[in-house]
Chain A
């Protein structure tokens, strides 16, 4: 885990002091809401349907038990005893009071946390693979690079007022667990002839105009990476549309001028940027990397006793292979049947912190699928971890199954939403509550957004659901065939929308078509890609 140096701590503390003064002036009437709004957004504070909402950054989804306990403490002391983990590996609190916000940020700063760059037209929180450092298939641990990008982007003076928000993901495995190509910039760290570098993809994203990022450079040497990214951002900052919010993202720029033209502009800019010497010296890279050294593994490779059938199912579904013999990666589902995707109570957050401290070298990860990961659990401890999770109602064995639904807060909380997402997720999960049925369906990624902004990643769902407002009535469009993984694709709308119960029925009919037509080990999305949309449409619309 990275630890703040004096500079990191000083800038976070200074920001808290600044914001405390800004809030004081707002409450005193010295500044208007129009003046205050951009300031509060720079500190992650939104005004949502029912109250202020605070989004706290969790850089590349990595945190330790001390930080996790602080998140529980914030929920307990300042909110309504729960937090909501988001699709950008952050956490949101839905019931924050303006007058307490600076106190919250001050408490967060004591554990090296903040809400900076969780809003606004800047480079947002860097996201990464939740299995980083533990995945058997990774070329290198991507976290030092994510941390380097965090430091580079934090308060970057040139990129604090971009045409639009900017999201970067870093992975280092062929298997994409971070929806890398659906980011403004996606980096895949690779080795070429033994040398470390990155494939650079630029111009992906979801929202109202979903696009898969094209490859802009097949290999940028690690020594050049920061300069290359600086060039990518500079070209965007220069030519990105500021006159139309719907055309301001970099994906629109690249779509309009073409990947070849953008690539050429970046190459030209890179030649200049490289002369500025912004790539870090080896010593700085080594300093950062040292924080992410492998933990002191000491467990022998023993397989857990599978005699408890519930534990065995959880092992098969939620526990993944580790690169270190004797260890495993534990996924904690925040998707109980009928629950709210991504929500966890203060008590549950504390339990996860305790388990991480005792069994996972004090480390946790937040996933973009709104779950939690314990990345370094000895196989000998898996049963104890499962018991602890079970006692806290955190042992749902549904990772990547149909009830492991990504859902945005939707119209129940969000001022941008057009329709509710959570009740649809609850009804679908309840319809498919039977574990044998879910497991028979296999991997089926279902994602729900309550508006076209696509925070629920519906474009990337094997089954996607988009809530829309049809003359004041909630309506739900169904898409099939999306994926945020290495087989990245954008889902296609299958036909007219449904009401809330209708979309649940339609999903069920789609699964029946899949079961009837699947071949071998095909997943739902594989069958859909092979047979096309018609069999599904016929079953759903008659």
Chain B
């Protein structure tokens, strides 16, 4: 599957295209299929996302899992600061990255 990701313009926070908007949670990300480029240009032009790009991901029972470790770290937060993770109370969250 293909996901569209980027950063919020004002905050810089990592964000994921959900099909009808943006979410900071990768679990909400939608498969953009062959439409990624068109959505990317429309959303970037409207300044609803900054520096967007399309990535490969695998569907799982808990939602999409980006194929590359870099995007999994982007999705969850730095592995060395669990307190900055999007799931600070989940000690197993780091396993999802590695």
Contact = CB atoms under 8 A, between A and B. Distances in A.
B11 A472 contact: no
B69 interface: yes
Interface in B51-90: 51, 67-70, 73-74, 77-81, 84
Given A413-B78, A472-B68, A472-B69, A51 B84 contact: no
A98 B12 contact: yes
A97 B12 contact: yes
Contacts of B78: 49-50, 412-413, 422
Given A411-B73, A472-B67, A27 B12 contact: no
A137 interface: no
Given A50-B14, A97-B10, A426 B80 contact: yes
B9 interface: yes
B80 A422 contact: yes
Interface of A: 26-27, 29, 33, 47, 49-52, 80, 95-99, 340, 411-413, 415, 417, 420, 422-423, 426, 472-474
Nearest to A45: B12
B23 interface: no
16 contacts: A26-B9, A27-B10, A47-B51, A49-B74, A50-B14, A50-B78, A51-B7, A51-B12, A80-B84, A98-B9, A340-B80, A340-B81, A412-B73, A420-B80, A423-B80, A472-B68
B73 A29 contact: no
Contacts of A473: 69
> 9 tightest CB-CB pairs across the interface, nearest first?
A51-B12, A412-B78, A52-B12, A422-B80, A99-B10, A97-B11, A49-B74, A29-B47, A412-B80
Contacts of A99: 10-11
Which of B13, B74, B78, B81 has the largest count of A CB atoms less than 10 A from its CB?
B78
A47 B80 CA distance: 19
Nearest to B79: A412
B97 to A, nearest CB: 10
A98 B50 CA distance: 11
Interface residues of B, number: 23
Interface in B1-57: 7, 9-14, 44, 47, 50-51
B43 to A, nearest CB: 12
A419 B74 CA distance: 13
A194 to B, nearest CB: 52
Given A412-B80, A423-B80, A426-B80, A98 B69 contact: no
Given A411-B70, A472-B69, A420 B12 contact: no
B34 to A, nearest CB: 23
B7 A47 contact: yes
Given A29-B47, A80-B84, A422-B80, A51 B69 contact: no
Contacts of B12: 47, 50-52, 96-98
A96 B78 CA distance: 15
Nearest to B51: A47
Given A472-B68, A474-B69, A51 B77 contact: no
Nearest to B84: A80
Given A51-B12, A98-B12, 19 more contacts: A26-B9, A27-B10, A29-B47, A33-B44, A33-B50, A47-B12, A49-B14, A49-B74, A95-B84, A96-B12, A98-B9, A99-B11, A411-B69, A411-B73, A412-B79, A472-B67, A472-B68, A472-B69, A474-B69
Contacts of A415: 70
Contacts of B69: 411, 472-474
A413 B12 CA distance: 13
